[in-house]
Amino acid sequence: MSLLQVQNLVVEFPSRHGTLRAIDEISFDIAPGEILGVVGESGAGKSLTGASIIGLLEPPGRIASGQILLEGQRIDNLNNDQMRSIRGRKIGAIFQDPLTSLNPLYSVGKQLTETIQAHLPVSDQEARQRAIALLQDTGIPAAAERIDHYPHQFSGGMRQRVVIALALAAEPQLIVADEPTTALDVSIQAQIISLLKNICKKRGAAVMLITHDMGVIAETCDRVAVMYAGRIAEIGPVHQVINQPEHPYTVGLMASIPDMDSDRDRLNQIDGAMPRLNAIPKGCAFNPRCPQVFERCQEERPDLAAVSRGGQNTPTQVACWLHQANALEGV
**How far is the C-alpha of 58 from the C-alpha of 38, rounded, in Å?**
20
What are residue 212's phi and psi, to 5 degrees? -110, 5
pLDDT at 204: 85
Q: How confident is the model at residue 212 (pLDDT cuts 50, 70, 90)?
A: confident
Whole-prediction pTM value? 0.91
Look at residue 260 in the predicted model and tell me its pLDDT. Answer: 67
Whole-number Å distance between alpha carbons of 220 and 169: 22
Is the domain of 284 the same as that of 207? no
Same domain (yes/no): 209, 241? no
Does the structure show a pLDDT above 60 at 328? Answer: no
Domain annotation covers residue 5:
no
Task: For 6-28, give the DSSP string.
Answer: EEEEEEEEEETTEEEEEEEEEEE
Rounded CA separation 20/61 (Å): 9
The CA distance from 68 to 23, in Å, is 13
Decide if 110 is inside a domain.
yes
Are 82 and 191 members of one domain?
yes
Asked if residue 169 and residue 100 are part of one domain, the reply reads: yes
Q: Which domain holds residue 265?
A: 236-326
Main-chain dihedrals φ then ψ at residue 248, nearest 5 degrees = -55, -30
In a domain, 25, yes or no: no
Question: Is the same domain home to 251 and 217?
Answer: no
* CATH code of the domain containing 116: 3.40.50.300
Question: Is 8 inside any structural domain?
Answer: no
Determine contact, residues 208/174, Cβ cutoff 8 Å. yes
Is residue 207 domain-shared with residue 253, that is, in the same domain? no
Tell me: do 212 and 245 sit in the same domain. Answer: no
Average pLDDT over residues 151-167: 91
- pLDDT tens across 66-119, in order? 999 999 999 999 999 999 889 989 999 998 777 778 999 999 999 999 999 998
CB 37 within 8 A of CB 238: yes
What's the whole-number average pLDDT of the chain?
89
The bridge status of strand 73-74 relative to strand 18-30 is: unpaired
8 A C-beta contact, residue 131 and residue 115: no
Q: Determine, yes or no, domain membership for 197.
A: yes
pLDDT attached to residue 329: 43
Give me the residues paired with residue 37 across strands: 209, 224
CA 127 remoteness from chain centre: 29
Query: What value does the mean pLDDT take over residues 217-235?
Result: 94
Q: How many domains does the chain have?
A: 2
Q: Are 44 and 192 contained in the same domain?
A: yes
Q: Note the pLDDT of residue 310.
A: 60
CA–CA separation, 147 vs 165, rounded Å? 11
Q: Please state the rounded mean pLDDT for residues 27-53.
A: 94
98, 181: one domain: yes
Q: Measured at the alpha carbon of residue 220, what is the angle toward residues 89 and 52, in degrees to the nearest 5? A: 40
Q: Which helix (H) or strand (E) holds 5?
A: strand 4-15
